[in-house]
Structure 1
Amino acid sequence: MPNYTVWTFHGEEIPSTSTTAEKRLASGSNTIVHTSEIDQFAYMQEMVDNALRHHAEEADDSHDEEPPNETTQRFYNLLTEANLPVFEGSSESKLSVCIRLMAGKSNWNVPIQVVDFYTKLMLDLTPPNNFMPKNYYQAKKCVSKLGLDVKKIDCCVNGCMLFYDNDSGKNDALLVECKFCGSP
């Protein structure tokens, strides 16, 4: 169709000039096909391909990456330290042990003294040169350095609702009964 705009950004494909010419010859039509848009697009596509190829080659040749800023580097250092194996040959990292200790405390509402008791037991069972947390405080400190703070939120015994406050005006933290079923 003469003067038809090909909508490439809507999924249409640009017909090749040879296909258009073949169609014109096959149909016996004497309509003039305007290929200037197609030629311009092909030229532009070639320029973009060349630029990307040149940029990719430069990226391969030079390894000049911008170093992370101070905050990011501090986070990477903490993450590296936290992901060290607890002891040589262990499949668990310091971070995973700390998170599991805190999850156990939270899931079963275990007192801090119990967590401290079990960390001492684990320290006694592991080789002397280890990265185990010595107590609950150290486990919490390790996890919180990475920005993973712990916040306890109570819930209804039947699972109907959570008792918490938030920024959008929900102030249910001080409630003692469920709004839905009346249970504690």
Structure 2
Amino acid sequence: MDRSWMSRTNRFITQYQEGIRAFLNLAKQNTDSSDDYTQWTHHGESFQPNSDQQHDFNDNNHISEEVQQEHGAMFEMLDDIQKSAFIGINIESSSTNTEIDEPEGEVEKFRKLLNDAQRELYPGCKYSNSSFLMKMIHNKTITNSSVKYFDLNLKLFKDTLPKDETLPESYYQVKKLLRDLGMGYINIEACMNDCILYWKQYEHFDQCPNCQASRWKFGLGKHRKIARKIVKYFPLKPRLQRLFMSKDVAEDMRWHKEKRINDYVIRHPADATAWQEFDKENDWFALDSRSV
């Protein structure tokens, strides 16, 4: 199908009108698209759970506003993820069918996240699987508790739930949920005295070239090498992308360029001399309102 008409800005020319008619005729002749594709998430529409997928929290008086916010926040997070997962999707049209070319693995991952966000911990529970695990991870972080303590608590919760519960077995498995939600990190081994990272040119070193400290401690039987120190690297690029996936947060990220008033008072880093000097030296970068 000729799609050149789509790039025409003048909607009244013959080519554009004929293109619209051809598209409508194609849509009438081909009705074999996926029956479950009712929300056009691949075409810019935000994900909204339907009545069969999500309980109507607003109509249940026994469910508190806090619980509604808990589930709402989870679905907002999933909406951001599906927008990023399906960037660049190609819609292939032919005379026989319309097929969505989905990124390999991303669809199944998103469906699993969605199912966990909708599955109650037990019938009538205010938490879903995902929201409960996120709350547990949050509590672990603010109390600085150990992985062992987290695993013991998780095992206790699993023992108290009905037999068909589907919580993960350990903190290690819970971390997979964090990675799928875009909160992963990279482990990099380091010198115990903070001299170097065993990365790039030092990747295969067994001891620090500066202080000569060994990279390893040995496990049981001295057969297994274990790094003495590991630092966690949180890549910046995907986190910046994550900020701009949310419409509301993206607007805040552009505030310094689009809405900030220059009244010679430092209320934002963009008011500072260092930021302004950087903008002068890199004017091509400063022109983009998304630059931070």
TM-score with structure 2 setting the length: 0.32
When Rg is computed on C-alpha atoms for both structures, the one with the higher figure is: 1
TM-score with structure 1 setting the length: 0.46
